Amino acid sequence: MRNASFLVILFSLGGFLSLTFPAAATNYTFLDLGSLGGTTTIAYDINDNGQVVGRSIDNNGLGQAFLKNPGSAMINLGTLGGHQGSANNINNNGQVVGAANTPANNGNQYHAFLLNPGSAMQDLTIGSSYAAAIGINNSGQVVGVIQNGSQYNAFLKNPGGAIQDLGIRGDANAINDNGQVVGAVFNNNYWRAFLMNPGGAVQTLGTLGGDYSNANDINNSGLVVGVARTANGYDHAFLMNTAIPNSSMQDLGTLGGTNSQALGINASGQVVGSSNTVGGGANHAFLITTESGMQDLNNLIDLPAGVILEYARAINQAGQIVGDGYDSRDGSTHAFLLTPVPLPSPVLLLGSGLLGLAGWRRLRKG
C-alpha cells in the first residue's frame, strides 16, 4: 500500500513562456507512535486513511500486533489464543493481516490471520503448523508464506477461499490490486526476486550482478522495489518497471555506505527504505522521489535529541511514511509516523504590462 515538493511553473498569458527552478525537499512532522508498554515498536504499514499496523512489545516482553488509527491510542489486536502476534499489512478497507500464535505446541505454533474491521481475528491456516500473512490488496487477496513439510512456500488466498500453496519455495511479500504477486524464490541454491501474474508462471527478476535478490513491494503500475546483490557483493535497493518488457533492475544507490534496501513504494512511485551511511555507519531511513532522488529522512525532520530514523517501511498516497528508529538515550526502538508539511507559496510577479508570470509551490501528492 504504498512527497517531495517541487516548484510548479510559471505560465505566461501570451507566449507560453516557462521557467524551471531547482526541486526543493519536503519537510515532515514527526510523531512517535508509542508502544504497548515495552521498549520496542515497529510500524510495518500505513494505508491511505492513515491507519498504521505493526508489532509492539508489551509490559511482559511479548510482541503484540497493533493498530493505530489517526488521533487514537494504539490498539492491541490480540492473538489466535496464544501470547504473541504481528500485524504486517493493512489495506484501504481496514483489513489487517499478519501472524499470531495459537495455544498449540506450547504457543510455538504461528498461523496467518485476517482481521476485518469490527470482527474477531480469523485463522487462515489449515493443515500447517506455521504460516504468516505478509500482504493484502484492496480486493482482500492475501499473500504470505506457509510451511509445507520441511520447506516454506509462498501462498495466495482469495476472498472466501482457502490458502493456496503456490508451489514456490519462498515468500510472497506483496500483492497489488491487479493480483500481481512479488517475493523471493529459492532456486538453484540462490534467492531470487520473483513476479507472478494472475494465473501465470513465476518470473524471476534477476539481480544487480550478484547472486541474491528479494522483491519487497509492488504498486499498481507494476513498479517493483526490493534489494539485490551487486557484482562486488554489496546489497543495494532496486527499482524495476515490470510493465516494460525485458526491463532490468535499476540500482537506487545508497546514502554513502555500501548497503541499502527498498522496503515500500506508493502509487506515484515514491520509494522508502534503509541505507547505511558513509564508512559503514548507522542505518538511516530514506525517501526516493523523481524530483529529489534519495534523501536521508533524518535531514528533513526536527527530531528529538538522540533519535535516529533507521527504517522507512511504507509510504501511502498522501506521502505519509512509517517505520522505526533508535533512541540512543535509552536504547529503545520507536515506531514513527512522518507527515508532509506543505511549504510556503512564494509568488513571483514581473512588472505591470509584462508577461504576468506566476509561480507557486505545491506539495506533490505521492
Per-residue model confidence as pLDDT tens digits over 73-106: 999 999 999 999 999 999 999 999 999 999 987 7
Mean pLDDT within 305-313: 96
What lies within 8 Å, CB to CB, of 121 at 6+ separation is 77, 78, 79, 80, 100, 113, 114, 115
Cα–Cα distance between 206 and 240 in angstroms, integer? 10
Provide the percentage of residues in the chain whose pLDDT is more than 90: 81
Whether residue 5 is predicted with pLDDT greater than 80 in this model: the reply is no
Residue 339 cell numbers, joined: 507527515
pLDDT top residue among 17 and 307: 307
Contact 114, 131 (CB under 8 A): no
Q: Note the pLDDT tens digit of each residue in 149-178.
A: 999 999 999 999 999 999 999 999 999 999
For position 344, what pLDDT does the model report?
54
Whether residue 65 is predicted with pLDDT greater than 50 in this model: the reply is yes
Whether residue 118 is predicted with pLDDT greater than 70 in this model: the reply is yes
Can you name the residues that pair with 326 across neighbouring β-strands? 308, 333
Q: Note the pLDDT tens digit of each residue in 261-290.
A: 999 999 999 999 999 999 878 999 999 999
Q: What burial class does residue 187 get, using C-beta atoms within 10 Å of its C-beta: 0-12 exposed, 13-18 middle, 19+ buried?
A: middle
Whether residue 349 is predicted with pLDDT greater than 70 in this model: the reply is no
Mean pLDDT within 2-13: 29
Cell 506508493 sits at which residue?
A: 266
Q: Collapsing DSSP states into helix, strand and coil, what is residue 189?
A: coil
Arithmetic mean of pLDDT over the chain: 87
pLDDT top residue among 133 and 10: 133
Mean pLDDT within 318-335: 96
- Residue 48 dihedral angles phi and psi, to the nearest 5°: -70, -10
Q: Collapsing DSSP states into helix, strand and coil, what is residue 105?
A: helix
Which segments within 180-265 are labelled E, that is strand?
181-187, 190-196, 202-204, 209-218, 223-230, 235-241, 250-251, 256-265
Mean pLDDT within 105-134: 92
Please list the alpha-helical segments (H only) found in 9-154: 104-107
What lies within 8 Å, CB to CB, of 261 at 6+ separation is 216, 226, 227, 235, 236, 237, 273, 274, 275
For position 244, what pLDDT does the model report?
96
Cα–Cα distance between 143 and 112 in angstroms, integer? 10
Residue type, 305: A
What lies within 8 Å, CB to CB, of 119 at 6+ separation is none
Q: Give the containing element (helix H, strand E) for 336.
A: strand 332-341
Residue 268 cell numbers, joined: 506515484
Cα–Cα distance between 118 and 94 in angstroms, integer? 10
Q: Note the pLDDT tens digit of each residue in 189-216.
A: 999 999 999 988 999 999 999 999 999 9
Cell 508498554 sits at which residue?
A: 37
Which range, of 11-25, 206-220, 313-327, averages the lowest pLDDT?
Answer: 11-25
Q: Collapsing DSSP states into helix, strand and coil, what is residue 60?
A: coil
